[in-house]
Structure 1
């Protein structure tokens, strides 16, 4: 009876691990789409609304979904601090603080961080060019993420179940 209960727990744990790993492959393209949407929203706020950057970041964060929205909200909060950090410092601190909670990788983090070095220090047209460049780069990463999802999501689900089944067979 105890062996059967242990076998069921091992099988459930292995399956759960496989599904969690597969979930990361499913979350990455979704979060990249959300980031692209948020950057398009920021582009609209800057280009057409001529909204000040802290307010544009806050509005963008309110329109996006977590964890992407958390980056924009955190950057807006950083900009409002009394010690007066630059936009790049605020953006970098917000991205570094929130990035661990995303499924995105360091390549995407680099794209987003580079964007922070261009916003807030140049004219509207230059900022819009940098936003468009970041959108193109994120689109390429999203395409790659979808390919990886198609390749590895089913594999991780199956691997979790099969590895757990192997452990159960060895246990018994």
Structure 2
């Protein structure tokens, strides 16, 4: 009886590991979608409402759901307190602090860094072009992440269950 319980727990552990690794791909697409939402909100706050950048970043941080919420809030706080002189510098500090919480790839991170590097550095029309360009690049990366999620999520789940089943059969 004890043997079957151990075999069942081993099977469940392998299946859980497969499901866990499959979910990592889902989080990347959620983060990209959330940042795309942030870019759209930033566009509205800066271009149409003429909200100062620290206040706009703070307002947007309340509307985000992923770790970007913390990053936007920290950048806003650093700008308000005068700790940093550019949004890009604040992003680098905040991102390095929360690096382990993100599931982004290097290409995703480059788009985000470029956005923060150019944020607040040009006039209204320049900012509008930057928002549009970033939004288009994020859409492309989001679709890529969704496709990758569909394929790899199923694969890791299947591998986890199969490995658990193989181990269980081996011990029976």
Same fold (TM over 0.5): yes
Q: Which residue number in structure 2 is paired with residue 125 of structure 1?
A: 125
Residues 1:103 and 2:103 aligned together: yes
Following superposition, the deviation at residue 93 of structure 1 comes to 1.5
Q: Which residue number in structure 1 is paired with residue 22 of structure 2?
A: 22
CA RMSD for the aligned pairs? Answer: 1.6
Which segment is superposed worse, 10-19 or 67-76? Answer: 67-76
Structure 2: 5+ residue runs without aligned partners?
none
What TM-score does the superposition give when structure 1 sets the normalisation length? Answer: 0.91
* CA distance in structure 1 between the partners assigned to 2:74 and 2:8 by the alignment: 43
Structure 1 residues 132, 153: closer, same or farther in 2, change over 3 A? Answer: same
Q: Which residue number in structure 1 is paired with residue 40 of structure 2?
A: 40
Contact 2:42 2:60 in 1 (8 A): yes
* CA distance in structure 1 between the partners assigned to 2:99 and 2:65 by the alignment: 14
Contact 1:95 1:113 in 2 (8 A): no
Which secondary structure does the structure 1 equivalent of 2:153 belong to? Answer: helix
What TM-score does the superposition give when structure 2 sets the normalisation length? Answer: 0.91
Contact 2:84 2:90 in 1 (8 A): no
* CA distance in structure 1 between the partners assigned to 2:84 and 2:140 by the alignment: 35
Following superposition, the deviation at residue 149 of structure 1 comes to 1.6
Runs of 4+ deviating beyond 6 Å = none
Contact 1:47 1:128 in 2 (8 A): yes
Contact 1:34 1:65 in 2 (8 A): yes
Q: Which residue number in structure 1 is paired with residue 79 of structure 2?
A: 79
Which secondary structure does the structure 2 equivalent of 1:117 belong to? Answer: helix
Structure 1: 5+ residue runs without aligned partners?
none
